[in-house]
């Protein structure tokens, strides 16, 4: 079982925030469609990036031409997601979660109606693991069903997800000065709420949605103790 050799059910849970694509030329994801919570944290993540170089052959250069750097390509990430509802053999939760992942490669109704057809944009989130936190599109989603209930309903599956970064403004960058702005990570304790965190951090409880959006939270009334939340820099919070 993946949970025995990997991160498994650790305190901070990984999630995938699935957003509507933006309308227009914005590089900021649209409204939150849903937050996909992992049953088990990944045992392994693969993150990569490529640099593009070109070489133009020259007859006068016997040793070969000097390569020319053309630019860096966006990041890519592959992640394996393990789903299991074997404790509830009649549950359809595995099938519904697989459908939600496969839908990340399908055009959303809202973007279709806006004449800008696009699949959802996503943000992978796992506590303070910032290297893996970027806006992306899902280039492929593959599911292998490995266990079925007596009625034929799948109750265990392994999904392979491949994400490609959508370049935008640098994370935490002040758009007016170009300087990086500070972000903090807060570990939730008993009694915390998004409103109280917004008041403590920004002096305005009404901007709690900025924290919710930054962390892919779709139910602001439920905060689990021990969860790490990214608190956007004050300059990035729209009042």
Domain boundary among 136, 168, 200: 168
Q: Which residues pair with 136 in a beta bridge?
A: 122, 165
Domain boundary among 114, 133, 168: 168
Over the stretch 104-119, which tens digit does the pLDDT of each residue have? 999 999 999 989 999 9
Query: Phi, psi (5° rounding) for residue 207?
Result: -100, 25
pTM for the whole structure: 0.64
Residue 28 belongs to what domain range? Answer: 8-52+66-168
For residues 16 and 79, give the distance between their C-alpha atoms in angstroms, rounded to a whole number: 11
Based on the fold, state whether residues 32 and 112 are members of the same structural domain: yes
Q: Does 21 reside within a domain? A: yes
Number of domains composing the chain:
2
Based on the fold, state whether residues 46 and 80 are members of the same structural domain: yes
Over the stretch 132-156, which tens digit does the pLDDT of each residue have? 888 899 999 999 999 999 889 999 9
Check if the beta carbon of residue 204 is closer than 8 Å to that of residue 195: no
Query: Phi, psi (5° rounding) for residue 201?
Result: -90, -35
Based on the fold, state whether residues 194 and 108 are members of the same structural domain: no
Based on the fold, state whether residues 190 and 91 are members of the same structural domain: no
Q: What is the CATH classification number for the domain harbouring 18?
A: 2.40.30
In order of 15, 191, 206, 224, 228, the CA distances from 210 in angstroms are 18, 19, 9, 18, 15
SS in 3 state form for 72-137? ECCCEEEEEEEEECCCCCCCCHHHHHHHHHHHHHCCCHHHHHCCCCCCCEEEEECCCCHHHCCEEE
For a pLDDT cut of 70, what percent of the chain falls above it? 85
């Amino acid at each position: 079982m993946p949970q025995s050799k990997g991160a498994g059910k650790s305190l901070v849970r990984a999630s995938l925030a699935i957003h509507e694509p933006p309308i227009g030329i914005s590089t900021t994801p649209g409204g939150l469609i849903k937050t996909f919570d992992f049953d088990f944290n990944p045992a392994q993540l693969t993150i990569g990036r490529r640099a593009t170089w070109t070489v133009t052959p020259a007859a006068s250069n016997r040793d070969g031409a000097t390569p020319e750097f053309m630019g860096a390509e966006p990041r890519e990430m592959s992640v394996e997601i393990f789903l299991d509802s074997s404790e509830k053999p009649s549950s359809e939760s595995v099938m519904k979660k697989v459908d939600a992942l496969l839908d990340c490669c399908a055009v959303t109704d809202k973007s279709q109606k806006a004449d800008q057809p696009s699949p959802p944009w996503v943000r992978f989130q796992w506590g303070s693991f910032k290297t893996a936190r970027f806006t992306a599109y899902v280039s492929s989603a593959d599911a292998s069903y490995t266990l079925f209930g007596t009625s034929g309903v799948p109750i265990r599956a392994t999904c392979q997800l491949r994400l490609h970064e959508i370049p935008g403004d640098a994370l935490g960058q002040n758009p007016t000065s170009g300087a990086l702005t500070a972000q903090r990570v807060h570990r939730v304790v008993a009694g915390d709420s998004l409103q109280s965190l917004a008041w403590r951090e920004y002096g305005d409880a009404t901007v709690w949605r900025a924290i919710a959006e930054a962390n892919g939270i779709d139910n602001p009334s439920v905060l689990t103790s021990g969860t790490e939340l990214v608190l956007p820099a004050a300059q990035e919070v729209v009042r």
